[in-house]
Chains A and B, each alone.
Chain A
Amino acid sequence: MDIFLEALLNIIDPVTLTYMVIGVGAGLMAGSIPGFTIAMAIVLTLPFTFSMPPAQGLATMISVLVGGLSGGLMSGILTGIPGTPSSVATTFDGFPMARAGEPGLALGIGVWSSFCGGIISAILLVLFAPQLAMVGLEFQPWDFFMLVMFALTVTASLAGEHLVKGLIAGAAGLFIRTVGEDDAVGVGRFDFGSDYLLTGFDFIAVLIGLFAFSQLLSDLRNPVTARNALSDRKQVKVKIEHRRAIGILFRNWTVVIRSALIGMFTGILPGAGGSIANILAYDQAKKAAKDDSKFGKGDPRGIIAPEASNNAVEGGALTPLMALGIPGDITAAIMLGALLMHDIVPGPTFIKDEPALAYSIYIAFFLASFIMIGMQSGVLRVFVLVTRIKTYILATVILTFATIGVFALHNSIEDIWTLFFFGILGFVMRQFGFPLAPMILGVVLGNIAELNLARALAIDSDPMLFFLRPWSLFFAIIAIFSMVFPIYQKHRDTGSLLERFFSPLVLLSISLPLFMMGGLLRTTLAFAAIAVSGFIMWRRFGKTKKG
């Protein structure tokens, strides 16, 4: 209770609250402007949080995040252009509803769905993170190493048919982190006699370069669109209809909960974020609807599903971060950067060792959702003003800001060169279709992977242990299947052997490490996996025989 009070006092401190309000407002704005992603807003917030106490810094970043997740709906509903990839599906029904003369209701449904999604995922975060951390206490260096490999392969596999590019990007990210002194034995690598390279690239400068700088360059590429503003609207006379929206949400509570769960689960998976969750939730809402004829024409369920899911993603993404030290998506990876900046290394003992900070994160998450509701109406007016600013002006101001922010990290001009170099690299990679998410995850998790590899080999030099220890084997199996997944997706509905055997094989394979783990629950799960696998095979072969 004392710890909870300490955390609460950390967050309700007037300075922290002020930063949170500014953070939510900045997030709402960043989320609402197409081309300026939430990750970019979070990464640009990092330098500000450097001088703050950890709880205050994280609360500010969480506020930007919650605001950003909700900001995308404003642009999506009012202009038909999604503010962020997380709100693409919101436009499917939000924009038609707004055009049909109900913009206030569409915004209301979006805002309250975001709120509900955020609150549900915050509750699940509080419940699940400590449980997952308890499981994480069983992990040894072999398991952590394989967990990082799994995080990278699953993120790369999200690139779909560009899996190889995703894997190259992930490996390149790991390599970037090897520059400088080796964490295990302190030997310099790839420094070429430079003192700056000996200390290694500052990974926050790398993140800002890869993500923010390269994004700004992409936004500016077209000289015509760079000089355009997002909208010519002088003003918008929309009053958010809170009461009607809440009534609709109550009537569609199953959609809210289902979508929030989809968002939470997607967030827990490394690399999968709101951009996937909102489409998945929309698709599920449509499939589950008795009458789906109004979808795409302004159906409220088409706004509830994506907005509840994309706000729930972050609760999911923060769960493995807080419990295992492995971020669930790019924004959580940047949060990890913020923690490392304050010399806090999250892992299975994080919640136990830093309970006040963990509670501060929970409280900030809840509080930010309430602040978001309060600020949405006010920000709507500012949003209209911001959308009238030309893209090149916004981009230049943000670039200038990023430059000062990066310098402020270590008072080093070399960090700005790092920003520049990785900005160019990120831009070139974008142009050639390389996904940046695996690279960013590689940069963030690179030293964790290497340190655990070194520790594992120091304990026992037998490399086979990576495939003989239950958790390590479990992660290795799902890493391999995650790499095969894009090929499986390509062969769906073709009746190929891969399509028929993929799911049963996954289940059969994971039953082996589950058996090795022992205990009643895991043995039961292993038997259940075998039973389900057998059932799927029986059904598929039964169908083939009948056919």
Chain B
Amino acid sequence: MLASFEIREPDYGVLSPAAWPRLIIIIIGGLSVIYLIQSFSTPKKDIAPTPKKTFKEFVLYWRNVIAVFLIFALYLLVLPYLGMLIGNILFSFILLTVLGGWNAIITHLVIALGASGGMWLLFTHVLEVFLPRGSLTGF
């Protein structure tokens, strides 16, 4: 809401550029109040049951999701340096291994090379899309 007051007001046009987002924010605010009241009066049966006793249990329950978040964020941070080909191979290999375990490491490597390499070839040479090259790797 505060950010909506920083929107520049032009001298032209009938509807101010801030009016529409402000109206939506007010509606969301009103609905949130109703939701808050509802949440106190109704049981939380639609929320996925999660063990929240300790931090460790929480992490264990969500470990795959947290792993995807972290690996994806890391991938995005190193993408400009490694480029899409190397970045994707590493991303898919690490993600496969973290999610599937170290037992099938060779299978994961083959899948990462095949899938990421195949897609890179498809986009670069068939669809002629320029994929980012890494500043460190050069491709």
Contact = CB atoms under 8 A, between A and B. Distances in A.
Contacts of B10: 185, 187
A164 B31 contact: yes
Interface string A388-428: 00101101110111011001100101001100100010010
A396 B84 CA distance: 15
A427 B131 CA distance: 28
Contacts of A453: 15, 20
Interface string B51-80: 000000000001111001100110010011
A454 B14 contact: yes
A399 B65 CA distance: 13
Interface in B1-56: 3-4, 7-8, 10, 12-15, 17-18, 20-21, 24-25, 27-28, 31-32, 34-35, 38, 46-48
Nearest to A397: B115
A168 B127 contact: no
Nearest to A427: B65
A393 B119 contact: no
A184 B24 contact: no
A227 B103 CA distance: 12
Contacts of A293: none
Interface in A490-532: none
Contact of A168 (B12, B35, B47, B119): B35
A404 B130 contact: no
Interface string A204-231: 0000000000001100111100110000
How many residues of A sit at the interface, in one of the four size bands? 35 or more
B91 A411 contact: no
B interface: dominant SS: helix
Interface string A436-479: 00000000000000100110011001000000000000000000
A407 to B, nearest CB: 7
Contacts of A390: 100
Nearest to A172: B28
A91 interface: no
A178 B1 CA distance: 13
Interface of B: 3-4, 7-8, 10, 12-15, 17-18, 20-21, 24-25, 27-28, 31-32, 34-35, 38, 46-48, 62-65, 68-69, 72-73, 76, 79-80, 84, 88, 91-92, 95-96, 99-101, 111, 115-116, 119-120, 123, 127-132
Interface of A: 48, 51, 162, 164-165, 167-168, 171-172, 174-175, 178, 182, 184-185, 187-190, 192, 216-217, 220-223, 226-227, 390, 392-393, 395-397, 399-401, 403-404, 407-408, 411, 413, 416-417, 420, 424, 427, 431-433, 450, 453-454, 457-458, 461
